[in-house]
């Protein structure tokens, strides 16, 4: 059993339209009839052209129309939701009040159409399209039934559903009057059908527009949440990038300085002149590291190659590494065109970090490096003959992680191969845009 919930009218404009239609029905129910000379109300029987005097029952029952229409109007303040059965009962009650209005007040053609439109509008706000069409069809059939009863002068409560036939037309032949009435009923039926279609399309458009606005509002909320997530993710990525930059630049100098200081300690008691030479290199590296720290923000924003080509920057980096670490370097650099800033920076940082790791951990005496430019990608290989390591056990190294992130951020492939006692080999491939 679904829970019955009542909600307010969702469209103020349609609620005002319903009130206008109810007002029109109320005015039509109490509109004065054309004056007749006869003291009794007259009705027209299709097969008899003579007026027949009947008691004026409509005048006695017409005040009841007011509370009936008022009840129908109050029902529009809230709608049942969550229970299809109560929605059907609610719609059936609207049809029942509409029929009761015309049966106790007459004026069916002038009153009934407005009341049925109110019921159809409310049904459109509760049911899907299939339910709306069924209610509209039932409303149209009800209107046709009312027209038939009016044409045949059927009076459920003894009150005529149509207005008295004008006296001046009673002088016309019977077949002419019947044809005139039939055409009038057909035109009324056609007009009401068109109005029903218009109401269905109008309310359907309003509902679709409201649903679109709700979906747009929900999409905006989701977009705001996504924007916050992206902002947080971008902040995290920027922090990682800054950490990589500091690690690759400052860490390189500090590692080299640490090696020089170890050389100083080793040669201090054996060869003072050689120890002093290593000490001078350590001082120079310390100054470079301090300068790098002071200019870290500018370094992050600017190109780390400082205007040099990638080939010259890597050659200089290898030369400085060989002087600092005294590890021999064999290199092959084959670049034929200028690369983008992103690719050049990534390759430079990878080589820089690899040299730092080799000098710190490998205990190697030879480094081999190649850098080749292909038609679709850049290939970099760097290997040493050091002690190697087990990559599965080295899961916390920030340097290796930074290299991998740099390469994969450009859509490249990063591959590291190493075994204890067999050195380490790094191979990367970075795609480059195809030049026209």
The mean pLDDT value of the chain amounts to: 78
Q: Which of 60-64, 234-238, 254-258, 274-278 has the lowest mean pLDDT?
A: 60-64
Instruction: Identify the band that residue 37 occupies on the pLDDT scale cut at 50, 70 and 90.
Output: very low
Instruction: Identify the band that residue 249 occupies on the pLDDT scale cut at 50, 70 and 90.
Output: low
HEC string of the chain equals: CCCCEEEECCCHHHHHHHHHHHHHHHHHHCCCCCCCCCCCEEEEECCEEEEEEECCHHHHHHHHHHHHHHHHHHHHHEEEECCHHHHHHHHHHHHHHHHHHHHHHCCHHHHHHHHHHHHHHHHHHHCCHHHHHHHHHHHHHHHHHHHHHHHCCCCCCCCCCCCCCCHHHHHCCHHHHHHHHHHHHHHHHHHHHHHHHHHHHHHHHHHHHHHHHHHHHHHHHHHHHHHHHHHHHHHHHHHHHHHHHHHHHHHHHHHHHHHHHHHHHHHCCCCHHHHHHHHHHHHHHHHHHHHHHHCHHHHHHCCCCCCCCHHHHHHHHHHHHHHHHCCEEEEEEECCCCCCHHHHHHHHHHHHHHHHHHHHHHCCCEEEEEEEECCCEEEEEEEECCCCCCCCCCCCCHHHHHHHHHHHHCCCEEEEEECCCCCEEEEEEEECCCCC
The pLDDT value given to residue 32: 60
The pLDDT value given to residue 370: 94
Instruction: Identify the band that residue 301 occupies on the pLDDT scale cut at 50, 70 and 90.
Output: low
Between 184 and 20, the higher pLDDT residue: 20
The pLDDT value given to residue 60: 46
The pLDDT value given to residue 285: 81
pLDDT at residue 166 above 60? no
The pLDDT value given to residue 299: 47
Q: Which of 82-91, 98-107, 152-161 has the lowest mean pLDDT?
A: 152-161
pLDDT digits 0-9 by tens, 412-430? 999 999 988 889 999 999 9
pLDDT digits 0-9 by tens, 115-138? 999 999 989 888 888 888 999 999
pLDDT digits 0-9 by tens, 326-380? 889 999 999 888 888 888 888 988 998 888 888 878 888 999 999 999 888 999 9
Percentage of the chain modeled with pLDDT above 70: 78
The pLDDT value given to residue 36: 39
The pLDDT value given to residue 153: 73
Between 255 and 295, the higher pLDDT residue: 255
In the predicted model, what is the mean pLDDT of residues 158-175? 57
Between 162 and 213, the higher pLDDT residue: 213
pLDDT at residue 168 above 90? no
* Domain annotation for the chain: domains and CATH numbers: 5-171 (no CATH), 309-436 (3.30.565.10)
Most confident of 64-78, 153-167, 289-303: 64-78
Instruction: Identify the band that residue 220 occupies on the pLDDT scale cut at 50, 70 and 90.
Output: confident
Between 173 and 111, the higher pLDDT residue: 111
In the predicted model, what is the mean pLDDT of residues 210-216? 86
């Amino acid at each position: 059993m679904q829970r019955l919930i009542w909600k307010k009218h969702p469209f103020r404009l349609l609620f005002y339209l319903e009130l206008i239609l109810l007002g029109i029905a109320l005015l039509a129910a109490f509109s004065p009839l054309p004056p007749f000379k006869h003291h009794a109300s007259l009705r027209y029987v299709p097969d008899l052209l003579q007026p027949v005097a009947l008691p004026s029952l409509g005048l006695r029952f017409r005040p009841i129309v007011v509370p009936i229409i008022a009840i129908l109007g109050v029902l529009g303040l809230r709608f049942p939701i969550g229970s299809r059965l109560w929605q059907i009962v609610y719609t059936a009650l609207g049809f029942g009040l509409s029929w009761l209005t015309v049966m106790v007040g007459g004026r069916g053609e002038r009153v009934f159409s407005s009341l049925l439109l109110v019921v159809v509008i409310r049904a459109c706000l509760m049911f899907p399209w299939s339910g709306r069409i069924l209610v509209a069809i039932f409303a149209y059939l009800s209107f046709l039934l009312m027209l038939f009863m009016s044409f045949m002068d059927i009076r459920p409560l003894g009150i005529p559903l149509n207005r008295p036939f004008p006296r001046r037309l009673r002088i016309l032949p019977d077949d002419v009057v019947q044809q005139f009435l039939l055409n009038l009923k057909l035109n009324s039926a056609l007009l009401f059908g068109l109005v029903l279609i218009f109401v269905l399309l109008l309310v359907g458009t309003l509902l679709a527009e409201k649903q679109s606005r709700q979906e747009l509002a929900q999409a905006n909320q989701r977009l705001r949440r996504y924007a916050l997530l992206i902002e947080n993710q971008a902040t995290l990525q920027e922090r990682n990038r800054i950490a990589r930059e500091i690690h690759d630049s400052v860490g390189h100098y500090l590692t080299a300085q640490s090696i020089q200081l170890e050389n100083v300690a080793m040669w201090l008691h054996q060869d003072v002149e050689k120890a002093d030479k290593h000490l001078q290199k350590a001082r120079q590296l310390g100054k470079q590291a301090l300068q790098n720290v002071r200019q870290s923000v500018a370094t992050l924003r600017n190109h780390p190659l400082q205007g040099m080509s990638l080939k010259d920057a890597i050659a200089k980096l290898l030369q400085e590494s060989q002087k600092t670490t005294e590890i021999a370097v064999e290199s092959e650099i084959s670049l034929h065109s200028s690369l983008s800033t992103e690719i050049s920076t990534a390759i430079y940082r990878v080589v820089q970090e690899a040299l730092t790791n080799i000098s710190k951990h490998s205990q190697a005496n030879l480094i081999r490096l190649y850098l080749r430019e292909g038609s679709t990608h850049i290939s970099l290989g760097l290997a040493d003959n050091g002690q190697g390591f087990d990559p599965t056990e080295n899961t916390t190294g920030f340097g290796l992680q930074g290299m991998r992130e740099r390469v994969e951020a450009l859509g490249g492939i990063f591959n590291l191969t190493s075994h204890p006692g067999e050195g380490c080999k790094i191979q990367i491939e970075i795609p480059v845009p195809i030049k026209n």
